[in-house]
Amino acid sequence: MARKIKSSKSPEQRRAEMEALHDQLGEAVEELRSSERWAAYLRFCTSFHRYSFANVMLIWWQCPEASAVAGYRAWQAKGRQVRKGERGMRIIGTGTVRVSDDDAEEEGEKTEDGRRRVFFPVSVFDISQTELAEGAEDVSTVAHELTGADDAGILARVVDHLTAAGVPVEFGSTRAGVNGYTSPADAETGEPVRVVISDQLDPAQQAKTALHEAAHIALGHIDDDPAEYVAHRGRYEVEAESVAYVLAGILGLDSSAYSVGYVAGWAERAESDVIKDTAARVLKAAHTLAEALAPTEAESVAA
Protein backbone atom coordinates (compact mmCIF):
# COMPACT_ATOMS: atom_id res chain seq x y z
CA MET A 1 0.00 0.00 0.00
CA ALA A 2 1.35 3.45 -0.89
CA ARG A 3 2.41 5.60 2.02
CA LYS A 4 0.71 8.96 2.40
CA ILE A 5 3.18 11.77 2.82
CA LYS A 6 2.69 14.32 5.56
CA SER A 7 4.84 17.44 5.60
CA SER A 8 4.69 20.75 7.43
CA LYS A 9 6.83 22.39 4.77
CA SER A 10 5.39 24.53 2.02
CA PRO A 11 5.62 23.51 -1.65
CA GLU A 12 8.21 26.27 -2.14
CA GLN A 13 10.39 24.94 0.69
CA ARG A 14 10.21 21.41 -0.70
CA ARG A 15 11.15 22.63 -4.17
CA ALA A 16 14.11 24.56 -2.76
CA GLU A 17 15.38 21.47 -0.94
CA MET A 18 15.02 19.35 -4.05
CA GLU A 19 16.83 21.94 -6.15
CA ALA A 20 19.69 21.92 -3.65
CA LEU A 21 19.93 18.13 -3.86
CA HIS A 22 19.97 18.26 -7.66
CA ASP A 23 22.77 20.83 -7.51
CA GLN A 24 24.76 18.45 -5.29
CA LEU A 25 24.08 15.66 -7.75
CA GLY A 26 25.47 17.73 -10.61
CA GLU A 27 28.64 18.53 -8.66
CA ALA A 28 29.11 14.86 -7.77
CA VAL A 29 28.79 13.82 -11.42
CA GLU A 30 31.45 16.34 -12.39
CA GLU A 31 33.84 14.67 -9.92
CA LEU A 32 33.54 11.42 -11.90
CA ARG A 33 35.68 13.01 -14.63
CA SER A 34 38.75 11.87 -12.68
CA SER A 35 39.70 8.24 -13.29
CA GLU A 36 40.50 7.92 -9.58
CA ARG A 37 37.03 9.16 -8.67
CA TRP A 38 35.43 6.77 -11.20
CA ALA A 39 37.20 3.88 -9.51
CA ALA A 40 36.04 5.23 -6.13
CA TYR A 41 32.46 5.41 -7.44
CA LEU A 42 32.59 1.77 -8.52
CA ARG A 43 33.92 0.69 -5.11
CA PHE A 44 31.12 2.66 -3.48
CA CYS A 45 28.51 0.94 -5.66
CA THR A 46 29.40 -2.46 -4.18
CA SER A 47 27.61 -1.33 -1.01
CA PHE A 48 24.85 0.76 -2.56
CA HIS A 49 23.97 -0.92 -5.86
CA ARG A 50 20.31 -1.26 -4.83
CA TYR A 51 19.85 2.51 -4.56
CA SER A 52 18.92 4.78 -7.46
CA PHE A 53 21.78 6.46 -9.29
CA ALA A 54 20.77 9.85 -7.87
CA ASN A 55 20.77 8.59 -4.27
CA VAL A 56 24.06 6.72 -4.69
CA MET A 57 25.65 9.96 -5.88
CA LEU A 58 24.07 12.00 -3.06
CA ILE A 59 25.23 9.55 -0.37
CA TRP A 60 28.70 9.43 -1.90
CA TRP A 61 28.89 13.23 -2.12
CA GLN A 62 27.89 13.75 1.51
CA CYS A 63 29.66 10.78 3.10
CA PRO A 64 32.17 9.02 0.80
CA GLU A 65 33.19 6.67 3.61
CA ALA A 66 29.61 5.40 4.09
CA SER A 67 29.20 1.63 4.02
CA ALA A 68 25.52 1.00 4.92
CA VAL A 69 22.73 3.55 5.34
CA ALA A 70 19.14 3.51 6.58
CA GLY A 71 16.60 5.86 8.08
CA TYR A 72 16.33 6.54 11.82
CA ARG A 73 13.44 4.11 12.40
CA ALA A 74 14.94 1.52 10.05
CA TRP A 75 18.13 1.41 12.14
CA GLN A 76 16.05 0.93 15.28
CA ALA A 77 14.30 -2.00 13.61
CA LYS A 78 17.74 -3.49 12.94
CA GLY A 79 18.70 -3.19 16.61
CA ARG A 80 20.87 -0.09 16.24
CA GLN A 81 20.35 3.43 17.53
CA VAL A 82 21.51 6.62 15.81
CA ARG A 83 23.79 8.43 18.25
CA LYS A 84 22.55 11.71 19.67
CA GLY A 85 23.79 14.71 17.70
CA GLU A 86 24.48 12.82 14.47
CA ARG A 87 23.47 14.66 11.31
CA GLY A 88 21.74 12.66 8.60
CA MET A 89 22.50 12.64 4.88
CA ARG A 90 19.74 14.01 2.68
CA ILE A 91 18.63 11.84 -0.23
CA ILE A 92 15.51 11.69 -2.41
CA GLY A 93 12.53 9.76 -1.09
CA THR A 94 9.25 9.01 -2.87
CA GLY A 95 5.64 8.50 -1.88
CA THR A 96 2.12 9.46 -2.90
CA VAL A 97 -0.37 12.15 -1.87
CA ARG A 98 -4.03 12.57 -2.55
CA VAL A 99 -4.77 14.92 -5.44
CA SER A 100 -6.89 17.92 -4.46
CA ASP A 101 -7.57 21.42 -5.74
CA ASP A 102 -4.93 22.78 -3.37
CA ASP A 103 -2.12 20.76 -4.90
CA ALA A 104 -3.37 20.71 -8.50
CA GLU A 105 -0.38 22.76 -9.56
CA GLU A 106 2.11 20.50 -7.81
CA GLU A 107 4.54 18.63 -10.01
CA GLY A 108 4.54 14.84 -9.82
CA GLU A 109 3.75 11.64 -11.65
CA LYS A 110 0.12 10.48 -11.56
CA THR A 111 -0.50 6.93 -10.29
CA GLU A 112 -3.25 4.57 -11.48
CA ASP A 113 -5.43 5.16 -8.41
CA GLY A 114 -5.55 8.91 -8.98
CA ARG A 115 -2.94 9.77 -6.39
CA ARG A 116 0.16 11.78 -7.20
CA ARG A 117 3.69 10.41 -6.86
CA VAL A 118 6.00 12.98 -5.31
CA PHE A 119 9.69 13.16 -4.50
CA PHE A 120 11.06 14.80 -1.38
CA PRO A 121 14.22 14.98 0.75
CA VAL A 122 14.63 12.36 3.49
CA SER A 123 17.41 11.74 6.01
CA VAL A 124 19.48 8.56 6.25
CA PHE A 125 22.38 7.67 8.53
CA ASP A 126 25.47 5.55 7.97
CA ILE A 127 26.08 2.57 10.25
CA SER A 128 29.12 4.43 11.63
CA GLN A 129 26.66 6.98 13.08
CA THR A 130 24.85 4.30 15.04
CA GLU A 131 25.57 2.00 17.96
CA LEU A 132 24.21 -1.36 18.93
CA ALA A 133 21.11 -1.09 21.09
CA GLU A 134 21.31 -2.74 24.50
CA GLY A 135 20.47 -6.42 24.27
CA ALA A 136 20.38 -6.42 20.45
CA GLU A 137 22.40 -8.81 18.30
CA ASP A 138 24.97 -7.29 15.95
CA VAL A 139 23.88 -8.47 12.49
CA SER A 140 26.29 -6.26 10.52
CA THR A 141 28.64 -8.18 8.24
CA VAL A 142 32.00 -7.44 6.74
CA ALA A 143 32.60 -8.83 3.27
CA HIS A 144 35.83 -10.70 2.84
CA GLU A 145 37.90 -10.34 -0.28
CA LEU A 146 39.19 -13.32 -2.19
CA THR A 147 42.34 -13.43 -4.26
CA GLY A 148 43.39 -16.18 -6.62
CA ALA A 149 40.85 -18.99 -6.32
CA ASP A 150 37.13 -18.65 -6.97
CA ASP A 151 36.16 -19.94 -3.53
CA ALA A 152 32.74 -18.28 -3.68
CA GLY A 153 31.77 -20.27 -6.78
CA ILE A 154 31.10 -17.11 -8.80
CA LEU A 155 32.02 -18.69 -12.13
CA ALA A 156 29.55 -21.53 -11.71
CA ARG A 157 26.84 -19.08 -10.67
CA VAL A 158 27.37 -16.90 -13.76
CA VAL A 159 27.48 -19.94 -16.06
CA ASP A 160 24.20 -21.22 -14.59
CA HIS A 161 22.60 -17.78 -15.03
CA LEU A 162 23.69 -17.45 -18.66
CA THR A 163 22.78 -21.04 -19.54
CA ALA A 164 19.30 -20.57 -18.07
CA ALA A 165 18.95 -17.47 -20.27
CA GLY A 166 19.78 -19.54 -23.35
CA VAL A 167 23.39 -18.38 -23.65
CA PRO A 168 25.85 -21.30 -23.80
CA VAL A 169 29.25 -20.81 -22.16
CA GLU A 170 32.33 -22.50 -23.58
CA PHE A 171 35.89 -22.77 -22.25
CA GLY A 172 38.66 -22.96 -24.82
CA SER A 173 41.44 -21.12 -26.56
CA THR A 174 41.15 -17.43 -27.42
CA ARG A 175 43.48 -15.18 -29.33
CA ALA A 176 46.42 -13.69 -27.46
CA GLY A 177 45.47 -10.99 -24.97
CA VAL A 178 41.77 -11.89 -24.98
CA ASN A 179 40.40 -13.46 -21.81
CA GLY A 180 36.97 -14.03 -23.25
CA TYR A 181 34.36 -12.75 -25.67
CA THR A 182 30.66 -12.86 -26.49
CA SER A 183 29.49 -13.74 -29.99
CA PRO A 184 26.16 -12.24 -31.10
CA ALA A 185 23.38 -14.43 -32.44
CA ASP A 186 23.52 -15.33 -36.12
CA ALA A 187 20.10 -15.11 -37.76
CA GLU A 188 21.27 -16.96 -40.87
CA THR A 189 22.66 -20.03 -39.10
CA GLY A 190 20.38 -19.91 -36.07
CA GLU A 191 23.38 -19.82 -33.71
CA PRO A 192 22.47 -18.21 -30.37
CA VAL A 193 24.50 -15.67 -28.42
CA ARG A 194 27.40 -17.54 -26.83
CA VAL A 195 30.17 -16.73 -24.39
CA VAL A 196 33.70 -18.08 -24.69
CA ILE A 197 36.16 -17.91 -21.77
CA SER A 198 39.82 -18.78 -22.02
CA ASP A 199 40.73 -22.11 -20.45
CA GLN A 200 44.22 -20.75 -19.69
CA LEU A 201 43.07 -18.41 -16.89
CA ASP A 202 43.09 -19.10 -13.17
CA PRO A 203 39.65 -19.51 -11.55
CA ALA A 204 39.44 -15.98 -10.16
CA GLN A 205 40.16 -14.43 -13.56
CA GLN A 206 37.68 -16.76 -15.25
CA ALA A 207 35.03 -15.66 -12.75
CA LYS A 208 35.77 -11.98 -13.39
CA THR A 209 35.74 -12.52 -17.16
CA ALA A 210 32.39 -14.31 -16.93
CA LEU A 211 30.97 -11.31 -15.04
CA HIS A 212 32.32 -8.99 -17.74
CA GLU A 213 30.67 -10.96 -20.55
CA ALA A 214 27.40 -11.27 -18.62
CA ALA A 215 27.49 -7.49 -18.20
CA HIS A 216 27.81 -6.98 -21.98
CA ILE A 217 24.64 -9.02 -22.42
CA ALA A 218 22.73 -7.30 -19.59
CA LEU A 219 23.70 -3.88 -20.96
CA GLY A 220 22.35 -4.76 -24.39
CA HIS A 221 25.69 -4.32 -26.14
CA ILE A 222 25.28 -7.59 -28.05
CA ASP A 223 21.96 -6.40 -29.48
CA ASP A 224 23.49 -3.35 -31.15
CA ASP A 225 24.43 -3.16 -34.80
CA PRO A 226 28.10 -4.21 -35.24
CA ALA A 227 28.98 -0.78 -36.63
CA GLU A 228 27.45 0.86 -33.55
CA TYR A 229 29.47 -1.43 -31.29
CA VAL A 230 32.70 -0.60 -33.10
CA ALA A 231 31.96 3.14 -32.89
CA HIS A 232 31.40 2.98 -29.12
CA ARG A 233 33.59 0.03 -28.20
CA GLY A 234 35.65 1.97 -25.64
CA ARG A 235 32.59 3.06 -23.72
CA TYR A 236 30.98 -0.37 -23.94
CA GLU A 237 34.08 -2.08 -22.58
CA VAL A 238 34.28 0.42 -19.71
CA GLU A 239 30.60 -0.16 -18.89
CA ALA A 240 31.00 -3.94 -18.89
CA GLU A 241 34.18 -3.89 -16.82
CA SER A 242 32.67 -1.40 -14.39
CA VAL A 243 29.67 -3.68 -13.87
CA ALA A 244 32.00 -6.66 -13.45
CA TYR A 245 34.02 -4.77 -10.85
CA VAL A 246 30.93 -3.84 -8.83
CA LEU A 247 29.53 -7.39 -9.01
CA ALA A 248 32.87 -8.94 -8.07
CA GLY A 249 32.97 -6.73 -4.98
CA ILE A 250 29.40 -7.64 -4.05
CA LEU A 251 30.13 -11.35 -4.46
CA GLY A 252 33.41 -11.26 -2.52
CA LEU A 253 36.05 -11.22 -5.25
CA ASP A 254 38.61 -8.40 -5.28
CA SER A 255 39.18 -7.57 -8.97
CA SER A 256 40.68 -4.10 -8.45
CA ALA A 257 44.14 -5.10 -9.66
CA TYR A 258 42.64 -5.84 -13.09
CA SER A 259 39.53 -3.66 -13.35
CA VAL A 260 40.80 -0.29 -12.13
CA GLY A 261 43.63 -0.26 -14.64
CA TYR A 262 41.21 -1.38 -17.35
CA VAL A 263 38.99 1.70 -16.98
CA ALA A 264 41.60 4.27 -15.90
CA GLY A 265 41.62 7.44 -17.92
CA TRP A 266 38.26 6.95 -19.63
CA ALA A 267 36.34 9.39 -17.43
CA GLU A 268 38.88 12.13 -18.00
CA ARG A 269 38.21 12.03 -21.74
CA ALA A 270 34.41 11.71 -21.62
CA GLU A 271 31.81 14.46 -21.53
CA SER A 272 29.75 14.97 -18.37
CA ASP A 273 26.49 13.77 -19.90
CA VAL A 274 28.20 10.61 -21.16
CA ILE A 275 29.69 9.98 -17.70
CA LYS A 276 26.32 10.43 -16.01
CA ASP A 277 24.55 8.12 -18.46
CA THR A 278 27.26 5.47 -18.19
CA ALA A 279 27.32 5.63 -14.38
CA ALA A 280 23.55 5.17 -14.25
CA ARG A 281 23.64 2.27 -16.75
CA VAL A 282 26.42 0.56 -14.79
CA LEU A 283 24.45 0.81 -11.55
CA LYS A 284 21.23 -0.50 -13.14
CA ALA A 285 22.96 -3.47 -14.78
CA ALA A 286 24.85 -4.28 -11.57
CA HIS A 287 21.58 -4.29 -9.64
CA THR A 288 19.89 -6.58 -12.18
CA LEU A 289 22.75 -9.08 -12.28
CA ALA A 290 23.30 -8.97 -8.50
CA GLU A 291 19.72 -10.11 -7.99
CA ALA A 292 20.08 -12.83 -10.61
CA LEU A 293 23.35 -14.11 -9.12
CA ALA A 294 22.37 -13.89 -5.44
CA PRO A 295 22.52 -17.21 -3.55
CA THR A 296 19.17 -18.94 -3.16
CA GLU A 297 17.71 -19.44 0.31
CA ALA A 298 18.69 -23.11 0.19
CA GLU A 299 22.28 -22.23 -0.74
CA SER A 300 22.50 -19.67 2.06
CA VAL A 301 21.31 -22.24 4.62
CA ALA A 302 23.78 -24.81 3.30
CA ALA A 303 26.63 -22.33 3.58
The reported pLDDT for the residue numbered 74 is: 86
The reported pLDDT for the residue numbered 27 is: 83
- 154-173 per-residue burial string, b: 16 or more CB within 10 A, e: under 16: bbebbbebbeeeebebebee
For residue 225, give the amino acid letter. D
What is the distance between the alpha carbons of residues 274 and 294, in angstroms, rounded to a whole number?
Answer: 30
Give whole-number Cα distances, 229 to 45, 169, 274, in Å: 26, 21, 16
For residue 161, give the amino acid letter. H
Sketch the domain layout of the chain as residue ranges. Answer: 11-132, 154-302
Give whole-number Cα distances, 299 to 31, 137, 163, 208, in Å: 40, 23, 19, 21
What is the distance between the alpha carbons of residues 205 and 117, in angstroms, rounded to a whole number?
Answer: 45
> pLDDT truncated to tens, each residue of the chain (303 aa)?
233 334 556 777 777 887 888 788 788 888 888 878 888 888 888 888 888 899 999 999 999 888 889 899 988 888 899 999 999 999 998 877 776 545 544 455 555 566 777 788 899 999 999 998 888 766 554 333 334 688 889 999 999 999 999 999 999 988 766 889 998 888 888 888 999 999 988 899 999 999 999 999 999 998 877 777 777 888 898 899 899 999 988 888 888 777 877 776 677 777 788 888 999 999 999 999 999 987 654 454 444
> Residue 240 CA to chain centroid, in angstroms?
12
pTM of the model: 0.70
